[in-house]
Every structure is written in structure tokens, then in C-alpha cells.
A = this chain, B = another copy of it.
């Protein structure tokens, strides 16, 4: 019996599990305190009314033999046509043409971002931005892969540029970025697509936050960039857009023309998914399709506007304290400098103890995140206001 010893290379707990444990420990020691969580990227607004209606309708479908649905339509990509077509329409608005067979419905971006690695050999070099969503690195370390990092720093606007001297095979990009909120413009994204096509690398493009982009000149999808269909897979989610963190739905686009060494990656992914996955709840898929209807998009836009207002409140508080930050414009995340030269975890403890506010230590997102801290706009107006009042009182001292 050979155990996967690569697990030794991981922290005992995933970043957000560690934060959860730290907060619970604090609450046990301070039972009267109610820390406000601006840490996890978890939504708080209820689902849009049209999504609720669609989900109720789907539950009713499952209550009657005539309308009951079991496994999804066979030999597919686990998506019902009604949802695949909704995704196709969503992309069409950005000028991107997709076919049904290129869209794979899943239980969320995190699953696909990890599971896609089954398509590639262990001995590939993976390039991961630093800082970034920690699941990319952890999923690769777990598989024993070499991870190289592309530095996102104030100097490059937190948007790493391709380095011709790095021989990357698999490249993770996330735009709008988690945690920094930085967004690739067309020219910078084109540089990555060109680099990947020159090298024969594959880009795994995490577009989970695309709906937060408020400037129409910025690309929502990597497939708006020329040449991307030949080198990129795009991973999307209803979590942050339609508030599906607890409902679980995402989708991954694998262009039909994306091939490497004689393999069509879409066919491989279909084979992987039909072997190690069994599709997404019919109820969830009905809800997701409703989110992409005209009414759904209006209702979702209201929720996103709500979170944007929180981001504005956080920005205002940080500015008032004279703290440097980025993000919060095309993203629900604000990426702030830790004050007084504190490390990320020092500031985590300081903020929790003195202001009862929970954020995410930047170092959890990579070495370049040390000295930074992530705050999220996903809380309520009321909690965000109280948290910012406490933060302002603490840091203005």
C-alpha cells in the first residue's frame, strides 16, 4: 500500500478551514463577542426571486412520475439543454459563440479547477499567480506537481506578465482576481494567450467573478481574445454571481478545437466526468438557467449592486485610515496593506481581538500576499458598516 505522500507538502488544513478554526477558538474563549466575518468569499443575499420560483417548479417536477427526472440526459456533458442554451446566450452577449458540446455543467468551479488536472501527466510545470486562490496550488501539490509562481505585485498592477524564460505547461489565471481584485485588460490577456500558444501550454481561466466587471471594455471571458480557443479552458461559477455558494453549480468551457498531442481535451474531460462524476441536481440546473434569463440577470444585478455598495463602504473606510488598497471595483474583494508593518497573520489576530472583525491573511494566498489582507464585500450593509466603524476606530488611533 503506497499512500500519496505528497499530502505531506500541504498545510494540515485548507486556508479557509484554518480561519474558521481560529474564529471558533476565539468565540469559545470570548463567548460574548460576535465577530463580523469579512473573510470567506461567501454570499449573504437571498437567491433571486426567479431562481426561487424555478427551483420550486423543479422540486414539483420531481414529485410526479410524469415529470420526474433521474440522471441527466445521457452521453452529454451533464447539462440539460435548457441550461446549456442559457450559457450559450450569456456568452453570445459578449460576442463569443459556443456549442452545447463545449459546455460542461458541474457542481462548482473549485471541483473543476482541481479535477481538470486528471487530463495531464504529473510531470508538467504548473504556473500559478502569486497571490491567488489557494485551491490551484493545493490541488497541484497534492498530485506531486512542480508549481512555479508568477508574481503579482504593486509594480505590475497585481497582474503578472508572461515570462518567456519560464517553461510553463499549465497556467492558471483568475480575472477578476481573487484576492487582489485586479482585472486583465485585452492586451494583457492577449499576451498570455500568445505565450500559451507559442509554448503549447494550456490556460485554465477562472472567470468566477466575471459578473463584477463594471467596465465594458474589459474581457469577461478569455474567449473574447484571439487564439484563446486553441489554448484555454474557462471555468465559471454561479456562486458569486447568482449567490449559489450553497446551491452548487458551475460550468466549464472546453473548446472543441483545443487539442494537445493528438488528444481532444473536451473528449478527455467528457470521459473523466462520465467516469468520476454524475452530474448536477436537476433543481439546481433549473435555478441556474433562471439566473441567466432576462429577469434573472436584472435581479442578480441588484444583488451585485448591493455588494458593490459594501465595497464602496470598505474603500471609504480604508481611505479614511490612510491605508493603501486595490480592488473593490470590478471585484467583491479589497486587498489592503497591513498597517504598522504587521504580517498578515499578525493583523488577522489584531483585527479579530481589537475590532472583532475577521478577514483573510494575504499570506494564505501566496508568498507575495505577505503583509496584505483581504476583505470581502459579501456581508450585509449593516455588518459592513459596523465592521468599518470598528476598523476605523482601531486604525485611526
Contact = CB atoms under 8 A, between A and B. Distances in A.
A123 B3 CA distance: 9
A196 to B, nearest CB: 10
Contact of A16 (B74, B111, B272): B74
A2 B170 CA distance: 10
B135 A202 contact: no
Given A45-B68, A283-B281, A274 B121 contact: no
Interface string A37-52: 0001011111101001
Nearest to A275: B138
A3 B49 contact: no
A24 B43 CA distance: 42
16 contacts: A1-B170, A1-B202, A1-B260, A3-B263, A5-B121, A7-B271, A16-B74, A21-B75, A46-B62, A52-B60, A55-B62, A59-B283, A62-B247, A107-B248, A248-B281, A281-B283
Given A10-B275, A13-B271, A40-B74, 6 more contacts: A17-B75, A19-B74, A40-B71, A52-B62, A69-B246, A246-B281
A380 to B, nearest CB: 7
A122, A278, A279: which has the most chain B beta carbons within 10 Å? A278
A26 B142 CA distance: 45
A94 to B, nearest CB: 26
**6 closest cross-chain pairs (CB), A and B:** A114-B276, A2-B121, A20-B74, A42-B70, A70-B245, A14-B274
A370 interface: no
B275 A142 contact: yes
A150 interface: no
Interface string A248-272: 1000000000001101000110011
Nearest to A5: B121
Contacts of A272: 142
B1 A200 contact: yes
A369 interface: no
A63 interface: yes
A359 interface: no
A390 interface: no
A347 interface: no
Contact of A17 (B12, B143, B274): B274
Given A46-B64, A63-B46, A247 B17 contact: no
Interface size class of A (residues with CB under 8 A): 35 or more
A211 interface: no
Given A59-B52, A276-B135, A44 B65 contact: yes
Contacts of A243: 70
Contacts of A199: 1
A154 to B, nearest CB: 29
Contacts of A49: 63
A148 interface: no
Contact of A13 (B17, B42, B274, B276): B274
A201 interface: yes
Nearest to A262: B3
A320 to B, nearest CB: 28
A233 B13 CA distance: 21
A345 interface: no
Interface in A270-295: 271-272, 274-284
Contacts of A113: 276
Given A3-B263, A118-B4, A47 B62 contact: yes
